[in-house]
Structure 1
């Protein structure tokens, strides 16, 4: 079937192939019990009235396999060896059949399970090693089946996959109040080869949701993120995150052409400064060693807005930037005392300058300021990645922004400065969570580790569908 059409903030859909790979690994890791043991009382026929109970031991000899997904249940094929003890009589059997399980979501353990609803035994084979009178075997045929079913009834559910591994988002304070309030909505079998789970986030938010429907799985699983879900995750995270929303930056821009900057500075009466300070009695003889611009500032970030468009995804945000620039020059300086004072040298043809001091000095030539400059960020090339906790994260890649300082500097220098500040703004912007942990990265019952590997991203009616494979390892 194509799904009920019920809408949720986000959906996780798993393929039949992934379910079987998980069942095989869980069998190998003994996450699903291989052995079921116990004792049951039986309504035995008169021939066996001395035996009031049966001891059973069921050993699964192969991994469980999902054969079909139909009628709202999963049909799981099993093979097992069964040992039954009737007093002093011990009989061994090889059995096979089908377990019917209804997909359910364990809200406490956050697992996708199959709740066992019934069993079908396809065959019961007496093992050759069993030495039991044939007339007893004939009489207790039904008893054997009942005993085996009782043993299998101990398997009330089957682990299939850990879905939603953690409710913690990155860079958040400790405590339950800071965990994303994810609420399970529904689980359905979609088509004949997938199980789909819908989840909501219990916070206020705007935007369209996405419905339970066939996501055309070609990988292990698909995650459908709706605009509503993304808005809620970003809002919840931004208001609580410990990531600094105000970050300092500093840097330096060197001049490639000293003559160019000197030509620029010649528009200003820099050379008159020492004369004014000393009432004209001091002069400077200098050679330029280096000239550069130091800058420092603070960028304040606003909450980003992520838009899931029909064919693309984009990010918008606002940054307030305050920056101060210091134009500095390093000189080899000779400080001379002009005995003629403020009288121009052209009127004193004799040598009237005496060297007072020589050395290398750094001077601040000019200071520039921009305060709370509003800069709009737009990124249509943001990419998705998966972090260590298997959360889907949006990473800012190529923000389009225009610093536009307008400072009186040579154009090449101003361009380099603004590019540096743009780079600092991008670095200040964090990776943004788009979802909670899709699967658990570590399975508690073993040292099995699971990782998502994004294969492709599809934009569909304003939703973002992430198709991924799951890698198991240790």
Structure 2
């Protein structure tokens, strides 16, 4: 079965994990700076020769390298800068990795890398220095000590902020008792490619034995047992602070209503024996409507194929009001020829009496309905909080208002009633059946996510969601490489191959294709590579 008998089974392809680590790199989440002292016992007079300042900054995004069912290496490439003898700079390229375990925190309900230790793979000088092997060996020892201290005390874990991060249900009270309970969870790396997490909430069940890679090369795969979805609905409905009400309202222009204006004008002429002539125009016919929809009881839901949901015993209250109004322009004239045609009278027979312009309400109705629907239909959707929710799409009901006194035809009246019914149906509150799954609406390390190639399939036993996850700010595109790189912090512009570029923090780098654009935005040219450029 898709969930391996868990309530929820989540699989993250290594592609998604590497995308998440790219956010760590571009955010400069990992950055080491400080002073290292070879010995604290030396006299102050020689400390400048035995102490140095160091700075380690990543030059590439970390890379996931799976090494077992729960172990992996996070590989790093970095720039290492030493400042020794109170001013001499030594620059090195460095590769290292950290040994990590994949863990799931039962309290925070988050997946993370638990860092176990660091190992240096390679250190190379960026420029030629007359450095002996003994110095390199000592340097390896020092840097490993610095890295170990950093990952032991400062960055002990790195979250994987893509899926099941917190397993939150919307609009719940504070406190652990209002969080979904965890009765069983397991974590496993399969095929050296896919991170798999199985979670059960209310009953201890499920096993990752013989679990298969179901991602089909997509970033994320999530399967949910239907019975678990029903249990989550029960838990949410019983505890949520959401009042399950939805308000709506707006004013719109309508073009389908035709008041009986001509009949009124003809009647006026007959009553006045033809001497009073009125002409009435109705302009800007508007419908103002508002209301509130309240779900009264938890309906019974049954998930079917094709993302459809059978909804039984749906009960809701609809408090709806509507007002149709228009601009009325009436011209009143005295026709001195009465019913004699104006074409055969030798005089100007129409004398203006009045012009009336006013806004008039044609119909104003209000009613409160409690509707009970035995069998309705809904559709599964991912809401704006990334919960799976049921949206009611079909329900057989009528809104009955008193039509007495209105000048609308039956056809127009029925169209207004059908329009209001559609608005009521649209605003029936959605029904939540899962915790938040993918964090597409959150700001993570300063970045935001979006989903692409999303596919949701359902049966009467389970539902499966598969999707790719994109980082909006880091979407790859095939474009020409900018010739110039600017430092947003110092407002200095460089050629892209300038040595000064490597000293620019990643978050402060910005590319320009045209030198003039950078200079016009108050960037100063680098004195080493662009000294002859100036527009002042």
User: Taking structure 1 as the reference length, what is the TM-score of the superposition?
Assistant: 0.61
Q: Does the Cα contact within 8 Å between 2:51 and 2:84 map onto a contact in 1?
A: yes
* C-alpha distance in structure 2 between counterparts of 1:210 and 1:71, whole Å: 14
Aligned to 2:382: 385
Q: How does 1:247-262 map to 2 (within 5 A)?
A: none
Report the 3-state secondary structure (helix = DSSP H, G, I; strand = E; otherwise coil) of the residue aligned with 2:20.
helix
Question: Does 1:115 pair with 2:114?
Answer: yes
Question: Does 1:467 pair with 2:462?
Answer: no
297 and 176 in structure 1: CA distance in 2 versus 1, 3 angstrom threshold:
same
* C-alpha distance in structure 2 between counterparts of 1:241 and 1:174, whole Å: 6
Q: Does the Cα contact within 8 Å between 1:39 and 1:55 map onto a contact in 2?
A: no
441 and 9 in structure 1: CA distance in 2 versus 1, 3 angstrom threshold:
same
Aligned to 2:274: none
1 or 2, which has the higher strand percentage?
1
Deviations 1:42-93 (A, max 9, x none): 9xxxxxxxx9999865443322112445443223322234467999999765
Q: Does the Cα contact within 8 Å between 1:248 and 1:296 map onto a contact in 2?
A: yes
Aligned to 1:228: 227
Aligned to 1:429: 428
41 and 216 in structure 1: CA distance in 2 versus 1, 3 angstrom threshold:
farther
Question: Does 1:99 pair with 2:98?
Answer: yes
* C-alpha distance in structure 2 between counterparts of 1:197 and 1:395, whole Å: 25
Q: Does the Cα contact within 8 Å between 1:386 and 1:453 map onto a contact in 2?
A: no
Q: Does the Cα contact within 8 Å between 2:393 and 2:426 map onto a contact in 1?
A: no
1:29 CA drift (Å)? 0.7
1:384 CA drift (Å)? 1.4
Q: How does 1:43-442 map to 2 (within 5 A)?
A: 58-68=56-66, 70-82=68-80, 93-106=92-105, 111-126=110-125, 128-133=127-132, 136-137=134-135, 141=137, 143-154=138-149, 155-156=151-152, 157=156, 159=158, 161-162=160-161, 163-165=163-165, 169-170=169-170, 172=171, 174-176=173-175, 179-181=178-180, 183=182, 185-201=185-201, 213-239=212-238, 240-244=240-244, 301=295, 302-309=297-304, 312-317=307-312, 318-319=314-315, 374-379=372-377, 382-387=379-384, 390-394=385-389, 396=391, 398-403=393-398, 419-420=418-419, 422-433=421-432, 434-436=434-436, 438-439=438-439, 441-442=441-442
Q: Does the Cα contact within 8 Å between 1:11 and 1:199 map onto a contact in 2?
A: yes
* C-alpha distance in structure 2 between counterparts of 1:325 and 1:52, whole Å: 82
1:316 CA drift (Å)? 0.4
398 and 223 in structure 1: CA distance in 2 versus 1, 3 angstrom threshold:
same
Report the 3-state secondary structure (helix = DSSP H, G, I; strand = E; otherwise coil) of the residue aligned with 1:398.
strand
1:11 CA drift (Å)? 3.3
Worse-superposed segment, 317-326 or 25-34:
317-326
Q: Does the Cα contact within 8 Å between 2:73 and 2:97 map onto a contact in 1?
A: yes
Aligned to 1:455: 454
Q: Does the Cα contact within 8 Å between 2:307 and 2:380 map onto a contact in 1?
A: no
Report the 3-state secondary structure (helix = DSSP H, G, I; strand = E; otherwise coil) of the residue aligned with 1:104.
strand
1:219 CA drift (Å)? 3.2
* C-alpha distance in structure 1 between counterparts of 2:90 and 2:248, whole Å: 77
Deviations 1:191-213 (A, max 9, x none): 222212333445x89xx989765
464 and 12 in structure 1: CA distance in 2 versus 1, 3 angstrom threshold:
same
244 and 105 in structure 1: CA distance in 2 versus 1, 3 angstrom threshold:
closer
Deviations 1:163-200 (A, max 9, x none): 44556544x36533685335482322132222123334
1:321 CA drift (Å)? 6.1
Q: Does the Cα contact within 8 Å between 2:246 and 2:429 map onto a contact in 1?
A: no
Out of 14, 17, 25, the residue aligned to residue 16 of structure 1 is 14
How many positions carry a matched residue from both structures? 393
Structure with the bigger RCO (C-alpha within 8 Å, sep 6+) is 1
- In the alignment, structure 2 segments of 5+ residues that lack a partner are 41-48, 261-279, 281-288, 323-364, 475-536
In our comparison, the structure showing a higher alpha carbon Rg is 1
Deviations 1:289-324 (A, max 9, x none): 9xxxxx999865332444333554314041256899
106 and 322 in structure 1: CA distance in 2 versus 1, 3 angstrom threshold:
closer
244 and 20 in structure 1: CA distance in 2 versus 1, 3 angstrom threshold:
closer
* C-alpha distance in structure 2 between counterparts of 1:247 and 1:75, whole Å: 52
- In the alignment, structure 1 segments of 5+ residues that lack a partner are 43-50, 259-288, 290-294, 327-366
Worse-superposed segment, 172-181 or 21-30:
172-181
Q: What's the C-alpha RMSD, in Å, of the aligned pairs?
A: 5.7
* C-alpha distance in structure 1 between counterparts of 2:368 and 2:96, whole Å: 76
1:244 CA drift (Å)? 4.0
Worse-superposed segment, 449-458 or 83-92:
83-92
